[in-house]
Amino acid sequence: MKTARNKLCNIVMIATAVSFVGCSQGIKEFPCAPASGIVTCEGQPVREAQVFFAPTTSGKSAEVGKPAFSWTGEDGRFILSTYGNEDGAVVGTHVVRVTTSSKYPCNCVGEETNDLMEVQIKADEKNEFEIKLPKRTAPAPKNPFEDKDEE
C-alpha cells in the first residue's frame, strides 16, 4: 500500500513540476526596431504626453507583441520602449495613440486618447515620426477624477 501511495505521490510531483516548467518560459518577445519622434499641436511641441504604439494583427496570426510606450519631453520628443528601456517598437503595423497632460493643456485633441494614425515599424531602418495632433473642435471633457477648484 505504501509503495502505491509513493508512486502516486511521485507521479503527481513530476506532473506538477513539468507543468510549472511549461509556464515559466515567460512572454514571447517579438523583434523590435528603434522608433522615436515628436508630438506637436499647431506646430508647437507637446510636453508630458503619453505616446502609445499598439501593434495590429496581420495575416492569420493573433499574436502581435506588446505595445510600445513613451512620455514626451519638454521638446515634445519621445523614444519608444517595449521590452526594455528605449528598445523601440515591435516590427510591423501599429495604431498610434497620444494622451496629453492636463498639466500642459493644448488646443488639440489628446486628452481623449484617440487612434491618430497607422504607421509601419521597419527593421533596420530609422523609424522617426511626427505626430500632429488634430485641432480640437469641441471643449475637452472634464476629468471626473481631477480635483475641483474650490470656490
Is residue 138 domain-resident? no
Is residue 10 domain-resident? no
Is residue 14 domain-resident? no
Q: What is the dihedral of CA 16, 22, 25, 31, to 10 degrees?
A: -170
Q: Which comes out higher in pLDDT, residue 28 or 72?
A: 72
Residue 69 pLDDT > 60: yes
Q: Which residue has the cell 498610434?
A: 96
Is residue 2 domain-resident? no
pLDDT of residue 151: 44
pLDDT of residue 23: 41
Is residue 106 domain-resident? yes
Task: Give which of 110, 84, 107, 78 is closest to 97, Cα–Cα.
Answer: 110
Q: Domain tally for the chain?
A: 1
pLDDT of residue 95: 94
- The stretch 30-55 carries a mean pLDDT of 95
Is residue 23 domain-resident? no
Is residue 149 domain-resident? no
Is residue 120 domain-resident? yes
Query: Residue 78 belongs to a domain with what CATH number?
Result: 2.60.40.1120
pLDDT of residue 61: 65
Q: Specify which of 63-67, 72-76, 122-126 reaches the highest per-range mean pLDDT.
A: 72-76
Percentage, residues of the chain above pLDDT 70: 68
Q: Which band of pLDDT confidence, cut at 50, 70 and 90, is reported for residue 7? A: low
Domain that holds residue 37: 32-133
